[in-house]
Amino acid sequence: MYPSQYLPIIRRALEEDLGLAGDISAEAAVPFEAVATARIVARRSGRLAGLEVAGAVFLEVDPTLDVELLASDGDEVEAGGTIGRVSGAAWSILSAERTALNLLGQMSGVATATARLVQAVAGTGVQVADTRKTTAGLRLLEKYAVRMGGGINHRFGLFDAVMIKDNHIVAAGGIRAAVVAARARVGHMVKIEVEVATLDQLAELLEVGADVVMLDNMDLATLREAVQMVAGQMVTEASGSITLDTVLLVAETGVDIVSAGSITHSAPVLDVALDFESGTAPGLSPLDVG
């Protein structure tokens, strides 16, 4: 990711947290001239994502802070591992702490959930993809985290691929009508994916063709038959209730991709914390260094 992509997210988050008055807790309790060093610590093991984003939060609050990242996005970290350090004005560190940890924990949670699914299907050749079931305003960060977990991104939004789902089919008057209309209206660089829930729908789609077919909520036997019917004419994507317990069974049906909304909408946040390493000491205040 480029800073120009994630800095607006950081600024909105800080504005939400600091409001009009700023960090009145730090102002009330901490000496104005205090300086400190703090460690960013993983309380639980997992796959990291968002370290650069977290570091940018501290620097957005105070560019004079010294931020040292001791790990990289995509790394596995053990519980108790120190993954970064921040030094400088104590007020600034405290004011940035929660926003930095929220983003880092959320992104690392997504990366960890993705990595576990990817590990479960290792050796099958099947790729794990995300969906649009993301946290409003955080899609960019969560889809980046999926990649750090070893997964791939589905379409980013409504604007970069045509995906014809059940309600589109009803509104358009059928699969054939929807696909024909879509082909007439989008350029040759735009892929078309169609969702089917039955083998009859798949047979109808095969008559008109598409780039990708989403095999939605099919049982394992039906998935196997669907893959045989497609016979390589389209990319096959299995979706619907994909879990760590079921993903390998789904992968073994022969599909190309499994997509799981759970890796973004239900991923447990990775527990990360900020621990002050040393006591505060006299030094330059945030206003003095700004």
DSSP 209-252: --SEEEEES--HHHHHHHHHHHTTSSEEEEESS--TTTHHHHHT
- Dihedral over Cα of 205, 210, 215, 220: its sign: positive
CATH topology of 3-117+269-289 equal to that of 118-265?
A: no
149-183 residue pLDDT tens: 999 999 999 999 999 999 999 999 999 999 999 99
Identify the CATH number of the domain defined by range 118-265. Answer: 3.20.20.70
Ordered by start, the domain boundaries in the chain are: 3-117+269-289, 118-265
Q: Which residues are catalytic?
A: 98, 133, 165, 195, 216
- Quote the pTM value: 0.93
Q: What is the mean pLDDT of residues 206-216?
A: 98
Give the pLDDT band (50/70/90) at residue 286: very low
CATH for 3-117+269-289? 3.90.1170.20
What are the tens digits of pLDDT across the range 25-53? 999 999 989 999 999 999 999 999 999 99
